[in-house]
Structures are given as structure tokens and as C-alpha cells.
Structure 1
Amino acid sequence: MGEKLSLRLKENTEILDEILQTDKNFDIIRKGIVTGGRDACIYFVDGFLEESIMEKLLEFFYKLKPEEVPLSASQMAEQVIPYVEVSVMPEREELLKNLLSGVTCLLIDGYDACIGLDCRSYPMRSVDEPSKDKALRGSKDGFVETLVFNTALIRRRIRSSKLSMEMLTAGKISRTDIVLCYMDDRVDRRLLRELQGRIHAISVDSLTMNQESLAECIYEQKWYNPFPKFKFTERPDTASAAILEGNIVILVDNSPQAMIVPTSIFDIVEEADDYYFPPVTGSYLRLSRFLIAIITLLLTPTFLLLYQNPEWIPRWLEFIVIKDTVHVPVVWQFLMLELAIDGLRLAAINTPSMLSTPLSVVAGIVLGQFTVDSGWFNAEIMMYMAFVAIANYTQSSYELGYALKFMRLILLVLTAAFDLWGFLAGIALTLYAIAGNKTVAGKSYIYPLFPLNLQQLKKRFLRLRLKEETEQNQK
């Protein structure tokens, strides 16, 4: 239990002024008022206050008569104050936490509790469609950095009393708000209790990087396995669909992304467009994405293997043989281009928007024609790496794209060093990294392939009609 507030207003304000350092912090404001013949004081953080609402509340407090003031803070909050979001905080620690979160705190002489008025308004951007998580059809809204708006976007789509939004906090100093969203009648109770326990057990000062910090705290095993353990989305419709399937969606304040658990490799490959198109088109898009992911992993290592063993190339594929002189070993060309592509990607992120187009054109020309003419790279190598670089963007998950990239690099090195046996070892290592991975719930990362569930496996590869999917989910 925290320290209780005093009945004397002066004693409370002296302690709070010292803790909050109101003489130094210009944005923490204390305003003294008189209501119902009693001295009172309001604390708030400048920038979080909805001024129009506060003006009306102040007008009410100034007009309050002494006989209208009840004996306790709880009666004042429940029976007198004409506002919806009102709470009573008897402890100083609770007061400080809510105040620094943006809640306006009212202290009245003779009350041993603080009255919280939640009339905050956070600075926020509009709920536009996320630039990365786009869909050709469907809704064009997206999550923002304000938690309450994100929960509202989900509530708007799931109008059920079974939808639960459970608030937790983590970080000794930051006290970051975390919301677990789930359907009360569909969620895995064991996983829910485990997540609650892990979040309560977090002992860090702050979740500095929001969801990534939270992910590292609640899943600490096998950091060296690059395949993602969580699915991230900025789309409220994707998050809502995951909740209806029995998953848990984790929202973190100050983050515009939702974290979906548990997540398998098949969940990560899925996208919203799979469901916004008819079943035939949706199935084609999903299967294309699977196929392109496999090609991006195997294309350059396979070409390297055939280059090292030209006698294996069938007559109808002889056109893939490099005809020009190879000045730099092929494996080093692939490795340098892998690094160069990441360098261009990082440069594009940090380039001002007005310069990004001309600089991209210059980079394309230099890395294209000039590097081939100079002898550093061969045209065939440039073509295959260009395909791989573009095909990586068929995956909405950055984490999965980089996981495939890391495994491709390992495949290239092993193939160059040990030829066919290295190629086979690299594929075996990739399969082990995928199959040996575990979800947050500790279950198979490749379910429903293992353990085998044919009905669910069919659903993962083919986009079924809504009625069929609903029936399978109910089973």
C-alpha cells in the first residue's frame, strides 16, 4: 500500500510541489481555486489538458455552494461533479502516476483523497492508412501513437461484450501503459495468464523502444533464431480479425503497431489483401507470396551452385552461364550486393523526400551500368540480386524479410565453401531454424503442418469463403 493523502490541503500541496518540482517544471501547473467555501487546488500537465472541458468544470466549481459540498471525495465524484470520467485516488503514488499520464487532479481541503478528472487530450496525428501496411481494398485507417484511439478502432469493429481490453503497466520509471485485447470466450486462458505474469515480472526502468522492448522482455529464448516470434500490424482490421480467431493483441502506448500472439510462420505470411479479394484471387496472392519467399531464399545460392558445377546445367538452361570474364569471385559479388542493397535502403530512409527520387536514379545508374562496365560485377549477378531486392518487399513483415536474408547469406557462404554438401547443409539449417522455432505460447511454429491438421493447413494455403472459415474457427 502506498502513502495516503492528508486531510489538510496545505500539507498535500507542499509534498506534491516538492516531488513534482513545480518551481522548475514549467509544464506542471498548480492552480488554486475555491469551491463550496473550501480551498482547493488543481494539478495538470500543460499540453495534455482539453481546455474547453476544463473551463466548464471550473465554472461549475466556482458556483458550487457550501451546502452542496458532500462529506467525502467519493460522494463528490459520484454525486456532484457533472463529468463522466471521474475517479478517486486516496494514495499519493496513484495520484502521481495519473497526473503524469495527463489526468487533471483536484485536491480539496478536508478530503483525504484526490479526485481525478480525465479530460486529457494527447497530441496525435490522424488515423490515416499506414504507409507500410497498405491494402488495395478495405479500410484506409491505421493505428496511431495514442492508446485510447487504438482501442476505439478495435471496439468499432468488434461490438461484443466478450471483447476484453485489460490494462497493465511496465517500466519502473516510464510506467508505460499496455493493453491486452482478446475475446473472453475464445482466448487461450493458459497463454493469457502466462502473458500477464511475464508483463508483471518485467523489471526495467523503461520500455524505451515500445513494442520491441516489450517483445524482448516477454520472449527471451533463442535470440539467435532470426525468424520472428510476433506479428506486427498497423491495421485495425487485421488486429480485429486476429482477436476473433482467438489470438491476443497487445497494444503499447506511444506505438502505432499492434503485436499479435501467438504467431506461426503461416500467420506472418498472411496479408489483408488475401481477404479483401474473392477466394480465387486471395488464394493466388497467398500462394504467390509463399512461392516468391522460397525463390528469394534459394535463387542466388542455386545459381552459385550451378556456376561452380556447370556440368549440371541442362541444355535448355545453358543461357544462364556467365559469358563475360569474372574478375571478382561470384560469391563475393553476391555478398557485396547484399550489403549494398541494405546501404541503399538505409540511405533512402534518411534522404529528404525532395531528394529521394533523383538520388535513387543516380544510385540505380551507378550500381547498374557503370559497375558492370567496370568489371566489379557481372550483368547476370546484378539481375538476380535486383529480383531478390524487389521480391523481398512482397513480405509485409520486415522481420521475416531479414530472416530470409540471413539464411540466404549463410547458404551462399556454405555453398561457396562446401559446394553441394554446403548447399544441402544450408537448406537443412534453414528448415531447422523454422521448425525449431517456438511461438510465445511454446507451441509449434509451423502449425498446422506439425502437428498435422489438414483442415487448418488447407485454410493456411487457400483463401476459403467466409462461411467455411467461420465453421472451421468454431470447431
Structure 2
Amino acid sequence: MLDYLKKLIENQKNKKDKSNDKGKTIYKNLERNHSYVKNLFKDCDDINFRKFKIAGTQTSALVVFVDGLSDRDTLSNNVVRMLTTMAKEETTKKIDAKAVEDRLISVSKVSVVQDYDQAIEDLLSGEGLLFVDGVNSGFVLEARQWESRAVSEPLNEQVVRGPREGFVETLRFNTAMIRRRIKNNDLKMKHFKIGRQTKTDVAVIYMSNIAKQELIDEVKERLEQIDIDGILDSNYIEELIEERTISPFPQMLNTERPDKAVAHLLEGKVIIVTDGSPNVLVLPVTITDFFQSAEDHYNRYIVATLTRFLRLFAFFASTSLTSLYVILTTFRYEVLPERIIFSIAENRRELPFSPFVEALLLEFLIEFLREATIRIPGPFGQTIGIVGALIIGQAAIDANLVGPILVVITATSMLGSFAIPSYNMSSAVRVMRFPILIASGLYGGFGFVLMWMIILTHLCNLESFGVPFLQPLFPFKASEQRDNIYRAPRRWLRRRPIETAGNNVRRQRGVENGEKEAKEKKE
């Protein structure tokens, strides 16, 4: 009985909260509107008010805008000037919401709002807000304009051959770069506002004729369920909608390149663009997507295939090379050739630490240097990183703290993590390196194999929006490998990935069919 009463009280509270959430209706009297907005933005000096009389009448009007977010020239020339000097002939007719919207102002887009919630939300998004005395509606005027970073090449995904454009922090610029590349009405964009305080604009973009409808509905449903005070970057959304938050491996790909985002759209995937972030989320993904670069499709397929195999080797070297050195020098030195054993023994004769402790010290030192170079401004960071690594490494060898062979192996391991195109996957590799090294140092080869079995089991349990993370490697599908672990010639890439594409699976028709049709036309 008590539980029933508690639920009844909670339902009544929820009903009251919902009733209080209803937007306050805009007044018909201009002074009341002016006073209400003025009190709402008390101590907000960036909110500007411009009150004036409409030409040929005694009717007053009020324009409200945010300094720095709205274009003053647009509001001055197309609203204030139109109503004060150029609207004299029109004002002989009745001034109502329809007249103001259709005849009296000349901005490119005007929306009529009835309540303050929507009006204030649009105002804080950079739009102008117009109130007219005697009209119980507000007018949202398209006047957004703010400073933004120019389009430039992304620093983290540079290519030798290919487009140089990168996403910026303004959502509308990013969607325009995508729209410019796909001139098709099947490219759909659904907008959301997420964050109780920030009300961040988020766009879900997909190809309706390629992407699976189940995937689109799932993405929209997860975004609608987000209830948080603010979204400051796309990583907030990534963590809130992914399946496994407690995992070092990313389950969504982020990119700063419009061409790469478009390539994924044409495979039937969905991308999420967040206002204020130059990183666009791509989903669903598999593990091989993190080892592919946009440049793979701008080079010859032989070069691209070789590069992909090098990245896979870099992944193994970054995670396991140091651990294998510890295993071979501590537990299984008999498998090494004699000359290598004598060389390692000679170098380690005066060293005070075991190979395991040496490897841990060097790995932590590399992480310290990496973090320091990121935090120190531009050129200084690169200089300190290179010089610091050389000086500290040489000093550690001269002081007989570490061996030169282990320094070379650790440096190779670090370079392997840099060779992975995705920064998120590179970070995951850095995290994996330590548990594998610790297990190998404590239990030798058994610990190495056991840790890798745990990692592979975890990978097998991962999914990205219903797509297994290891697909199509496990289970292996030969037909899906043409643009996966290697890159086949483009004329062989006729089908989209089955796991993401809907009904429109075929990407291109066979070349032999095209040649046959051309021959028949000539005849």
C-alpha cells in the first residue's frame, strides 16, 4: 500500500513538472514583452535591445539579438531599416503576424513563434527576435553569424595525395561540405538539440537508399534518450550511446576528413556531427576500419595493400614487442641464437634491474615524454620530445640503467603506435601494452598467451550498433575482404559491406558488362 501511495505521489509531481514546463505565451503588449525579456536576461550585457516605431504608424517594434552571435548588418538593413523607412506604403493595411512575416521584413527566413521557450532558444542560437505591439507572436529572424576557424587540412589525418579539407567547429559548415560531395536527395540530415543547459545542435546524416532503417532508428532512439546538462564535444555522445563504455577499444570511428565521412556514408553507415567539434562520429564500425586511411583509396592498390599490412604489423609490434623481449631474455633465452644471447648477456652484465623492471621504466618514460610534448606549445613540444628522448635515452644507457637493445625495441614499439591511423585505437594500444607486459614479466609465455586470450574474448563480445566488432574477420568471409585487410583494384569493389548496406548493396556494375553494352551501341 505504501509503495502504491509513493508511486501515486511521484506521478502527481511529474504531472506538475510537465505542466510547469509548458512555454509561456508571448504577450500582445510590447511593453510586457520588453519587460519580460529584460528581466529574463538581467545582468546579461551581451543581449542588445533596439526599440523603434514602424513607418507611418504609432506602432512600436522591438528587436532583440545577442552581440557576437547575430549579424548586425542583416538586422539593421533588412529589419530595422525596412520597418522604419521602407514600409510606409504597407502599413496602411492591418499589421498582423501574416503581414509582418510576408511583407514588412526582408530576411531570408522568418519563423513565427507563440511561446517564449522556443523564442529564447532561437535567440541564444544566434537568431534575431522581433516583437510588434498588438501582435501576440514573436518572429525569429535568420541572422546567425559568428567567428569560426577557416577550413584547413586536419593535423591528425594528413595525406600526401587527396583533398586537403577538414571539418571545423561549426555544424552548418560541416554539413555543407558533406552535401557538396553528395548531390543526391537521398542524403538525409536529422537535427537534434541535446543538453539541458547547452542545447547543442547535433545532426544525424545517412543515405536513405543505402543505410538500414533499423540502424537509423536505433541511432535516433539512443540520441533521444540522452539526458545530460551539456554536450561540449562529440566524445560526450560517443560515450553515452556506445554499447560497452568500460572498454579500451573505441566502438565508433571519429574523423576530421569530409571525404572519409562521405566514403562511409556510401557504405551505408551513419555519421553524427556535433556543433563545436571538428570530429565526426562514424557508426557502425569493425576493427579493420581503424587501420584504414583515406589515402588508401588515393594510391595504387598494391601500395595501399602493403601499407595496411604494415599497420597490422605495427599493431602487433606496439602491443607485444617489448613483452616478447622480456619473455625471451628472462624465461626462454634458449630459443635465441647464441650470438644474440652473448650480445644481450654482455650488455646486461652491469645492469642493476631485471628486463621486466627495465621495460616498465622505459614504457613509463615514453608516456611521460609523449604527454609532455602534447602539453607544451607547438614547436617547443616537438623539440623537447626529440631532444629529451635522445638525451635521456643515451644518459640511461651510459649510466647502466637500461640496455641499448631494449631502448631500440621500446622505440620501435612507440613508432608502431604512431603508425595506426586512428588516434582512439592508438590510445587503446597504449593501454593494452601495460597489462600484456606485466603478465609476461610475472608469468612468462603463459601470461602473454593468457592476456591475449582475455583481449580476444573481449573483442569477440564487442558490438558496434549490432555489428560484431571482429566481422568479417571472425567469422572469416572471403567475399568481404576486398576492401578490408587488403585493398583490391577498384573495378573489383562492386559491392558494399553486407553488415551495413540495406537493399542497395551493389556499388558499381561489372566492367565487362559496361564494355559489352558500349560495343552493342557501336554496332
What is the TM-score with the length of structure 2 in the denominator? 0.86
Structure 1, residues 424-470: CA drift from partner, whole Å, max 9, x if none? 1012122123222111x132001112344321123202223334324
Counting only pairs closer than 5 Å after superposition, residues 55-134 of structure 1 correspond to structure 2 as: 55-57=76-78, 58-62=80-84, 63-65=86-88, 67-68=90-91, 71-134=95-158
Which residue in 2 is equivalent to 1:371? 396
Which residue in 1 is equivalent to 2:412? 387
Q: Secondary structure at the match of 1:458?
A: coil
**Equivalents in 1 of 2:308, 2:102: separation in Å?**
54
Structure 1, residues 82-112: CA drift from partner, whole Å, max 9, x if none? 2222222222100111101111111111222
Gap runs ≥5 in structure 1: none
- One-letter amino acid of the counterpart of residue 298, structure 2: Y
Structure 1, residues 177-235: CA drift from partner, whole Å, max 9, x if none? 10001111112211221221221121111114x1111112212x433321111101001
Contact 2:49 2:64 in 1 (8 A): yes
Matching of residue 448 in structure 1 with residue 472 in structure 2: yes
Matching of residue 290 in structure 1 with residue 315 in structure 2: no
Which residue in 1 is equivalent to 2:516? none
Which residue in 1 is equivalent to 2:241? 218
Over 3 Å counting, the alpha-carbon distance change for 1:320 and 1:249 in structure 2 is farther
Matching of residue 437 in structure 1 with residue 437 in structure 2: no
Over 3 Å counting, the alpha-carbon distance change for 1:35 and 1:152 in structure 2 is same
Over 3 Å counting, the alpha-carbon distance change for 1:85 and 1:466 in structure 2 is farther
The match for 2:159 among 135, 151, 175 is: 135
- One-letter amino acid of the counterpart of residue 369, structure 2: L
Which residue in 2 is equivalent to 1:234? 256
Q: Secondary structure at the match of 2:468?
A: coil
**Equivalents in 1 of 2:96, 2:266: separation in Å?**
43
Matching of residue 341 in structure 1 with residue 372 in structure 2: no
Structure 1, residues 313-340: CA drift from partner, whole Å, max 9, x if none? 2457547734222311211222222221
More displaced, 366-375 or 230-239? 366-375
- One-letter amino acid of the counterpart of residue 281, structure 1: V
Contact 2:291 2:311 in 1 (8 A): yes
Q: Secondary structure at the match of 1:167?
A: strand
- One-letter amino acid of the counterpart of residue 170, structure 2: T
Over 3 Å counting, the alpha-carbon distance change for 1:399 and 1:286 in structure 2 is same
- One-letter amino acid of the counterpart of residue 13, structure 1: H
Over 3 Å counting, the alpha-carbon distance change for 1:74 and 1:348 in structure 2 is farther
**Equivalents in 2 of 1:175, 1:43: separation in Å?**
20
**Equivalents in 2 of 1:360, 1:170: separation in Å?**
39
What is the TM-score with the length of structure 1 in the denominator? 0.94
**Equivalents in 2 of 1:10, 1:317: separation in Å?**
89
The match for 1:35 among 35, 42, 54 is: 54
Counting only pairs closer than 5 Å after superposition, residues 176-255 of structure 1 correspond to structure 2 as: 176-208=200-232, 210-219=233-242, 221-255=243-277
The match for 2:426 among 393, 396, 401 is: 401
Q: Secondary structure at the match of 1:229?
A: coil
Q: Which has the larger radius of gyration?
A: 2
Counting only pairs closer than 5 Å after superposition, residues 313-324 of structure 1 correspond to structure 2 as: 313-315=336-338, 318=341, 321-324=344-347
**Equivalents in 2 of 1:195, 1:82: separation in Å?**
38
Contact 2:370 2:385 in 1 (8 A): no
Q: Secondary structure at the match of 2:23?
A: coil
The match for 1:262 among 284, 290, 315 is: 284
**Equivalents in 2 of 1:218, 1:271: separation in Å?**
25
Contact 1:74 1:88 in 2 (8 A): no
Q: In percent, how many aligned pairs have the same letter?
A: 26
Which residue in 2 is equivalent to 1:20? 41
**Equivalents in 2 of 1:413, 1:245: separation in Å?**
40
Over 3 Å counting, the alpha-carbon distance change for 1:322 and 1:78 in structure 2 is farther
Which residue in 2 is equivalent to 1:45? 66
Q: Secondary structure at the match of 1:376?
A: coil
Matching of residue 351 in structure 1 with residue 373 in structure 2: no
Q: Secondary structure at the match of 2:424?
A: helix
Q: Secondary structure at the match of 2:185?
A: coil
**Equivalents in 2 of 1:241, 1:70: separation in Å?**
54
Contact 1:227 1:433 in 2 (8 A): no
Over 3 Å counting, the alpha-carbon distance change for 1:302 and 1:320 in structure 2 is farther
Contact 1:444 1:451 in 2 (8 A): no
The match for 1:332 among 357, 372, 383 is: 357
Over 3 Å counting, the alpha-carbon distance change for 1:463 and 1:25 in structure 2 is same
More displaced, 271-280 or 27-36? 27-36
More displaced, 165-174 or 55-64? 55-64
**Equivalents in 2 of 1:160, 1:193: separation in Å?**
21
Structure 1, residues 344-386: CA drift from partner, whole Å, max 9, x if none? 1121122233533542344123322111111211111111111
- One-letter amino acid of the counterpart of residue 237, structure 2: L
Over 3 Å counting, the alpha-carbon distance change for 1:182 and 1:106 in structure 2 is same
Over 3 Å counting, the alpha-carbon distance change for 1:136 and 1:354 in structure 2 is closer
Q: Secondary structure at the match of 1:12?
A: helix
Structure 1, residues 257-292: CA drift from partner, whole Å, max 9, x if none? 101011111111111111111211122212221122
Q: Secondary structure at the match of 1:25?
A: coil
**Equivalents in 1 of 2:230, 2:89: separation in Å?**
45
Contact 1:122 1:146 in 2 (8 A): no
Over 3 Å counting, the alpha-carbon distance change for 1:469 and 1:34 in structure 2 is farther
Which residue in 2 is equivalent to 1:421? 446
Q: Post-superposition shift, 1:49?
A: 2.1
Q: Post-superposition shift, 1:472?
A: 4.1
Q: Post-superposition shift, 1:66?
A: 6.3
Contact 2:71 2:145 in 1 (8 A): yes
Gap runs ≥5 in structure 2: 1-21, 498-504, 507-523
